Amino acid sequence: MHNSWRPKPGDRIFRPRRIKRYRLRRVLGVPALFSAGYGNVGSSIYYALGIVALVALGATPVVLAIAGILFIFTALTYAEGTATLPEAGGSASFARHGFNDAAGFTAGWALMLSYIVTISISAFTIPPYLGYFWEPFKDSPIIGTATSMGIVIFLMTINVIGIKETSLLNLGAAIIDIATQVSLVIIGFILLFSPVVVFHRIIDNWPAPSNLILGIALASIAYTGIETMSQMAEETKQPERRVPQALVMMIVTVLVIFAGISLVSLSAMTPQELASEWSRDPVAGIAANLPLMLLQHVLKPLIAVLAGTILLIATNAGLIGISRLAFSLGDHKLVPVAFSRIHHRFKTPYISIILFSIIAILILLPGFFAANVFENMGALYAFGSLLAFMFAHASIISLRIKKPELTRPFKLGWNIMIRGREIPISAILGLAATSIIWIIIFITQPYSRWVGIIWMVAGLFFYYLYRRKEHMPLTHTAKEHREPS
């Protein structure tokens, strides 16, 4: 029957309000991705070299090389995962698709810890390098820590304003820093490098087996930053192609520079000097030991500026990564949706940026009075990042088994066939290596062990309460409850 109903004067007509969902803008290319990732990885040479030398002594270049192999496996895993699932979330996204929501949250929560400590430790190491220009930056815990907090607040502000501004900052600083690091390696090899000296300093100062293994574990912090690129996939043009390109570029650049600087450092100073006097600013130690005074006068202030700059990039990259991670977790209902709320004008996840900046500032508070805050932050950094890497490798293997039909624009080679499924050897080796190293950190580092346990238990309890409040099962797959875009 024909419906002839028409509204009469005075009738009220209900029209459902359309909810507008703000999404992240796809504005980034390979240079922006590379510079953001290098901000984390490249910056770590300014402090990781000294931290590793504290336990590995003469074997420092060796353990960095071993950790570099792990870095290659992990970067390749992220290249396949991000090309297959080009969304913000990184290992949390891989785990959510490869397993379930509970695994996705666990990986994401561990990664949040890593990002928060990245922000704190990077900001904390900027003032000591700037101490070349004003000694209180390095000598005064109060001035140095207060300056670090100010840096976090500054970066919080420009991240709320928008991703393009921070991308330009990353790119310019990364280009200058890479040029300086390469120049330092070349000059060091010409004026300092001696194969005989390096060989004897390695052999004569070889650590005990337990210290060698711990050194490899700590060296893993020198190769983090892969997650930052993956987190930015949702803001990248053609992420399935450009993220793998940026990751491969970073693999080559980082391994060459790290190998060069670690060898030059052992030519410039003994392992004992590297682990004591220059532990917090090892690259400055290379410049200070150059035989030509003219080069010293040029490179010492330049290293101070460049170290501060690249560490600023690392602080910023950590803030970018954690805000985008929180956006992804909130968007998929793994944490309250407020975390994924986008600013109506700037189109950035401003609540996450502000919240985690405040937490990073709180982590810096012990810097006013604690003597070992630097070492503790390094171990805690490794705790979170290695746990996230474990989930990444396991998830890629799981996706190969459960969802072989997925389109993989970048697919890992060197596979073995298990029950008709192609399993990448690099992911298997990466999972085994990261698991072993994480266990070593867990056993040998009490601060990171207890803080890490508290963080993870508190997060899982928070996740349980949130999902129960929303009447959602703990292990429900995300695609079954996600709101349509």
How confident is the model over 236-262, as pLDDT tens digits? 777 777 888 888 888 888 888 888 988
Token representation of residue 423:
């399993």
Which residue type does 126 have? Answer: I
Angle, in degrees to the nearest 10, between helices 373-402 and 30-56: 120
Decide which of 101 and 277 is more confident: 101
Distance CA 451, CA 469 (A): 27
Distance CA 354, CA 356 (A): 6
How confident is the model over 50-90, as pLDDT tens digits? 888 888 889 999 998 888 888 889 889 988 988 888 877 78
Say whether pLDDT at 265 is over 80.
yes
- The residue assigned the tokens 């929180």 is 326
Helix (H/G/I), strand (E/B), else coil: 424: strand
- The residue assigned the tokens 């238990």 is 457
Give the residue among 345, 428, 403, 439 at the shortest CA–CA distance from 94: 403
Q: What is the pLDDT of residue 176?
A: 79
pTM of the model: 0.82
Largest CA distance in the chain: 98
pLDDT band of residue 142 (cuts 50, 70, 90) is very high
- What structural domains does the chain harbor? 30-475 (1.20.1740.10)
Distance CA 295, CA 287 (A): 8
> Which H or E element spans position 56?
helix 30-56
Say whether pLDDT at 14 is over 60.
no
The answer for 90, left when phi > 0, alpha when psi is -120 to 50, beta otherwise, is left
Q: What is the pLDDT of residue 401?
A: 93
Quote the DSSP letter at residue 269.
S
The answer for 419, left when phi > 0, alpha when psi is -120 to 50, beta otherwise, is left
pLDDT band of residue 423 (cuts 50, 70, 90) is very high
Distance CA 437, CA 439 (A): 5
- The residue assigned the tokens 């968007």 is 331
Q: Convert 233-244 to b/e letters by CB count within 10 Å (16 or more is b).
A: bbbbeebbebbb
